[in-house]
Amino acid sequence: MSPSDTAQTAPLEGYLSPDRVEMLVVHCSDTPDDDPIGAKEIQAMHLGFGWDGIGYHQVIRRDGTREAGRPEYWQGAHVKGVNDRSLSVCLIGRDEFTDAQLNSLAMLLFEWTARYPGARVLGHRDATETHKTCPNFDTASWWEAYQAGKSADRTRVAVPVLGITAEPGPGRPLETEALFGEALDILERRQGHALVRLTTDGYVGWVAMGDNLLSMPEPSHRITSAATFVLAEPAVTSAPLLRLTMGAQIQVTATKDGWHQIDLPQGRWGFVAAQAATVFGQPDGNDATSVAERLMGAPYLWGGRSATGLDCSALVQLALQATGTAAPRNSGDQLAWASVRSTEISIERQAPQRGDLVFWPGHVALCQSDESIIHANAHHHIVASEPLETALARIDQDTGQAARFLRLSDQPF
């Protein structure tokens, strides 16, 4: 599909194109501050209005619990005239919101602004001309002040890979990983752990503090090899200092004879092969599938995001990021993200092409051709290439659902 073809195609009715999201609108339920309602009650209320269902995309209860409303790819029903270019969240209450609610709101807005970087945060009363005062506080000013406070507490990952978990403490299941040099905003500290937002993709979770997090210079380059060693001297016989993997971010201070000298934490430095890195922000010259193929044989790890171990959605995210396309971290979010940036194909009518995405419930893969896919999977326990016919037969049966093939538009997004 050419850009001109895509530009002439009208969006599906009711779909909210991510490219059109320009407002992140905060509402209040305008119910008594001591009334512990949630998304279920608002759903019933909005159905009573004759609507298709709850008009908000997210609801935040009095205790800070977030509840899903409409999916992000479906236009909301919250501000007349801007529903086709906005997302919405409703705080339960009228004008006395809890700290837990506001902290939860901030986490959501951090996620949304990472996925929709051009969108403004504002209240209902500022999204359109209205007599309403909802949400009864100056949302834009509150958000600006909140961000200023948190961005002042920014740090970077000082170890090759740093685990991020849903709750603080040892032995917690891995949610995702942050890579060397990536920036983290510290949102809260608690007994040797920090609640952080990974600026690369907006993921929010807990990490262990200490020497894992340090102030480091802005990166100038990123690692493009599956993995590479940082050496003490610019020679292959030199002692290895640490091992960096694809996506790690580094500050290059000098380049000579095929070696980059890079800054390391605590005033140290080391050397990496120049061919293992490229200028930060410069897309990889190869297609996403070729990038994924560099990670062939890497072990499968649920929540992993490096050549040391990674899962299916991390493989796809890293491959797309390398080619200049920022994708969500988890496969479910990737499906919603890709659905409005793609053409869905039927393998009965059209052969899959290299680079097509293949989705099952909880799983995603990349097509290498019309006959094979590459994916990180728990069946092989590695990143593996597999005949498409074999994968379809096994995974369709395991998940109870036929695969969906999506081809990303060649328009920039």
Same domain, 115 and 61: yes
140: pLDDT strictly greater than 70: yes
How much is the CA Rg of the chain, to the nearest whole Å?
23
What DSSP string runs through 74-97?
Answer: B--SSSTTTGGGEEEEEESSSS--
In the structure encoding, which two tokens stand for residue 349, read together?
């009518």
Same domain, 402 and 337: yes
Mean pLDDT of 203-213: 90
Burial of residue 250, with CB atoms counted within 10 A of its CB: 0-12 exposed, 13-18 middle, 19 or more buried: buried
Residue 1 included in any domain? no
Of the residues 214, 230, 255, the one at which a domain ends: 214
Report the predicted TM-score, pTM, of the whole model to 2 decimal places: 0.74
Structure confidence at residue 207 (pLDDT)? 95
Same domain, 226 and 332: no
Same domain, 17 and 143: yes
Q: pLDDT tens-digit profile of 233-269? A: 999 999 999 999 999 999 999 999 999 999 998 889 9
Catalytic center residues: 27, 56, 124, 132, 134
Same domain, 243 and 187: no
Residue 5 included in any domain? no
**Positive or negative CA dihedral for 341, 346, 349, 350?**
positive
Structure confidence at residue 141 (pLDDT)? 94
Mean pLDDT of 349-369: 94
How crowded is residue 296: how many other Cβ atoms within 10 Å of its Cβ? 13
In the structure encoding, which two tokens stand for residue 363, read together?
């799983």
Averaged pLDDT of the chain: 90
Residue 64 included in any domain? yes
Same domain, 31 and 93: yes
In the structure encoding, which two tokens stand for residue 46, read together?
């909005």
- Give the CATH number of the domain where residue 194 resides: 2.30.30.40
Residue 3's pLDDT band (cuts 50, 70, 90): very low
Phi, psi of 166 (to 5 degrees): -75, -30
Same domain, 145 and 164: no
DSSP annotation of 171 reads: T
Are 262 and 256 in contact by the 8 Å Cβ rule? The answer is: no
Dist. CA 48–CA 94, nearest whole Å: 21
295: pLDDT strictly greater than 70: yes
Residue 88's pLDDT band (cuts 50, 70, 90): very high
272: pLDDT strictly greater than 90: yes
Of the residues 214, 247, 264, the one at which a domain ends: 214
Mean pLDDT of 76-100: 92
Residue 336 included in any domain? yes
Dist. CA 320–CA 289, nearest whole Å: 9
Mean pLDDT of 126-138: 91
Dist. CA 253–CA 263, nearest whole Å: 7
The residues with which 386 forms a beta bridge, in sequence order, are: 373
Structure confidence at residue 12 (pLDDT)? 52
User: What proportion of the chain, given as a percentage, has pLDDT over 70?
Assistant: 95
Same domain, 112 and 164: no
- Give the CATH number of the domain where residue 399 resides: 3.90.1720.10
What are the CA-CA distances from residue 322 to residues 176, 198, 225, 282 (Å)? 18, 17, 11, 8
Of the residues 199, 214, 229, the one at which a domain ends: 214
Structure confidence at residue 214 (pLDDT)? 87
Query: Within a 13 Å sphere around the CA of 355, how many CA atoms are in the beta-carbon half?
Result: 13
Structure confidence at residue 410 (pLDDT)? 64
In the structure encoding, which two tokens stand for residue 84, read together?
């086709």
Same domain, 275 and 165: no
Structure confidence at residue 13 (pLDDT)? 67
Residue 7 included in any domain? no
- Cα–Cα nearest to 110, from 184, 173, 15: 184
Same domain, 169 and 200: yes
User: Which residue segment(s) compose the domain that 253 sits in?
Assistant: 221-279
Same domain, 18 and 144: yes
Task: Quickly tell me which residue has 């593996």 as its tokens.
Answer: 384
Same domain, 227 and 138: no
Mean pLDDT of 93-119: 88
Dist. CA 365–CA 180, nearest whole Å: 25
Residue 2 included in any domain? no
Mean pLDDT of 192-217: 89
Q: pLDDT tens-digit profile of 177-197? A: 999 999 998 888 888 899 998
Give the total number of structural domains in the chain. 4
- Give the CATH number of the domain where residue 40 resides: 3.40.80.10
Residue 359 included in any domain? yes
Residue 388 included in any domain? yes
Dist. CA 408–CA 71, nearest whole Å: 20
